[in-house]
A and B are shown apart, each in its own frame.
Chain A
Amino acid sequence: MAHIDKTKSIADVGDGAAIPIKSDRGLFTAWRIAFVGAIGTLAFLSFYKPDPYLNIIKFVPDGIVVTFKVTVGAILLASIIGLITGLGRISSNRLFNGAASLYVEVIRGIPLLVQIFYIYYALGRIVKIPDLLSAIIAMAVCYGAYMGEVFRAGIQSIPKGQMEAAMSLGMTRGQAMRHVILPQAFKVVLPPVGNEFIALLKDSSLVSILAVADLLRRGREFASESFTYFETYTVIALIYLIITLFFSKLIGIMEERINAEN
């Protein structure tokens, strides 16, 4: 039981959409109303007033693809950075530990938007890489710090006896990490990582200030040409909502399965 409780406490680290749990009937119903309501509203608007609503919906799918590219790319990269950071934060090697802690402190103290600007333009000075890639790197560097804390908590939630048992069998710390601790920790961090994924998906809208044509940017392009600001941002908001709700549900199901296994 203690194991599961720890899972819950680190699930709070993220700030994604609320994850519906079966036992929480109220939230479950709220999820349903929001999800069905958002899709229904979108369908109704595009049927009732195809100009501009249907035109907007036809214009933005490219942006959805880009939003997903940024989100998936950044979460994968952020997971790698986060794993290394998390290992650093619990390492007894002072240099490794210090570097990881410094990274986390610095990143957490600077607004995400400022970081994105900074990393994007700093990268642009050093190397010539595509805008999309530097946007992904910028997001990953920011989120890596938060993911580092998720991984650290996940690794520390594994009982001390596991490392002791592995080491008493002659494994090195690295072997024990790889074969015993991390496989268990991955299960623990899966829900909070999912939470970070949703938060990242929403924050990926920030890259629209760079030359990256994500969902929000495509919306802005459409709106500034047609002067339908209210209508466009209504559609954009609903699309974000539908995507976010879909994934929060998926993560909720995943988390339930993991808890059932334990």
Chain B
Amino acid sequence: MLKTERRVMVQARDIVKLYGRFKALDQVSLTIHEGEKIVIIGPSGSGKSTLLRSINRLEEIDAGTMIVNGMDLYNPKTDLTRVREEVGMVFQSFNLFPHKSVLENLTLAQIVVRKRSKDDALEKAKKLLAKVGLSDKANAYPGKLSGGQQQRVAIARSLAMDPKIMLFDEPTSALDPEMIGEVLDVMKDLANEGMTMAVVTHEMGFAREVADRVVFMDNGAVVEEGTPEHFFTNPDHPRAKQFLSQIL
């Protein structure tokens, strides 16, 4: 259940995003509290990824306000890099740095952005690799890893920055079916540790199990928002009913 006394991590208000004349996001508002796990679902093209990517301003919005970790993303005085170092992001296509070893992938931003010493960064990296079960791959290059392993490294790379919130943009969509489980397991562990998470996914089992709140989007708008029990058993909106009948 929502705990209103919790700190607000993300406050999106009336977000509009245009691609030419097409409204990818049409006055979307969303609030994420500290420690909360929300799962955003909806048909493709509904604006889920666009909304997620606007949270760390990888996507520029055309109207509305976006306040993350107390900082207004569109205030000219806001240092965007200070916002982003607190917001971890995991991509569908992993986006590991192919010219760097797994360990270097995990230490680079710690050293360059967080200004940690090399030893501290390495220690942290090794700890996180153990956590995602890839200690034996520390010196491998991303190209030698399976998709599931690469995604686990990508999660560890984000966690190395000690983010206050983690964004997942369809993290398992590019994976072979047998590798989806290992990535979801890492995400579930993270959820159990209390990480604030916003996840765009088609994995309904994950949504049901992990989400505090399910956000259903269609045509660039949030049409239904509620607990997983409510959403999966008795959604109000006809579009949500239709979507569920198609995928379940």
Complex CA distance for A11 and B87, rounded to whole angstroms: 39
CA distance A170 to B116 in the complex (A): 14
Interchain CB contact under 8 A, A187 and B99: yes
Q: In the complex, what distance in Å separates the CA atom of A175 from the CA atom of B112?
A: 8
A184 to B143, CA, bound (A): 14
Within 8 A of A (CB), among B33-73: 56, 58
A169 touches B158 (CB 8 A): yes
Which residues of B sit under 8 angstroms from A162, Cβ to Cβ? Answer: 95, 97
- Decide: B99 and A171 in contact? CB cutoff 8 A: no
Closest chain B residue to A186 by CB distance?
B99
Contact partners of B87 in chain A: CB under 8 A: 168
Within 8 A of A (CB), among B128-184: 143, 154, 157-158, 161
How many residue-residue contacts, CB under 8 A, span A and B? 63
Partner of A168, one of B58, B112, B114: B58
A122 at interface (Cβ–Cβ under 8 A)? no
The interface residues of chain A, by DSSP majority, are classed as helix
A39 interface contact, C-beta 8 A: no
| Proximity string of chain B (71-87) to chain A, C-beta cutoff 8 Å, 1 when within and 0 when not | 00000000001101111
For B81, list chain A residues within 8 Å (CB). Answer: 167, 170-172
Residues of B within 8 A of A183 (CB): 99
Taking the nearest CB of chain B, how far is it from the CB of A23, in angstroms? 22
Contact yes or no, A161 B99, CB < 8 A:
no
* Complex: chain A residue closest to B167, CB-CB: A168
| Interface flags, A22-49, vs B, CB<8A=1, else 0 | 0000000000000000000000000000
Residue B122 is within 8 A (CB to CB) of chain A in the complex: no
A262 neighbours in B (Cβ, 8 Å): 143
A161 to B93, CA, bound (A): 8
A169 touches B56 (CB 8 A): no
Judge if B235 is at the interface, Cβ distance under 8 Å. no
A171 touching B91, Cβ below 8 Å? no
- What chain A residues lie within 8 Å of B84 (beta carbons)? 167-170
B198 within 8 A of A: no
Chain B CB within 8 A of A64 CB: no
Asked if A164 CB lies within 8 Å of chain B CBs, one says yes
Complex Cα–Cα for A172 and B85 (A): 10
Which residues of B are at the interface with A, using a C-beta cutoff of 8 A? 56, 58, 81-82, 84-89, 91, 93, 95-99, 108-109, 112-114, 143, 154, 157-158, 161
Q: List 29 A-B contacts (CB under 8 A).
A: A161-B91, A162-B97, A164-B58, A164-B95, A165-B89, A165-B91, A165-B97, A165-B154, A167-B58, A168-B58, A168-B84, A169-B85, A169-B109, A169-B158, A169-B161, A170-B81, A170-B82, A170-B84, A170-B86, A170-B109, A170-B114, A171-B109, A171-B113, A175-B112, A179-B108, A184-B97, A184-B98, A184-B99, A262-B143
Given contacts A159-B95, A170-B86, A170-B109, 14 further A-B contacts (CB under 8 A): A161-B91, A162-B97, A164-B89, A164-B91, A165-B95, A167-B81, A168-B84, A168-B158, A169-B84, A169-B108, A169-B158, A170-B81, A170-B114, A171-B81
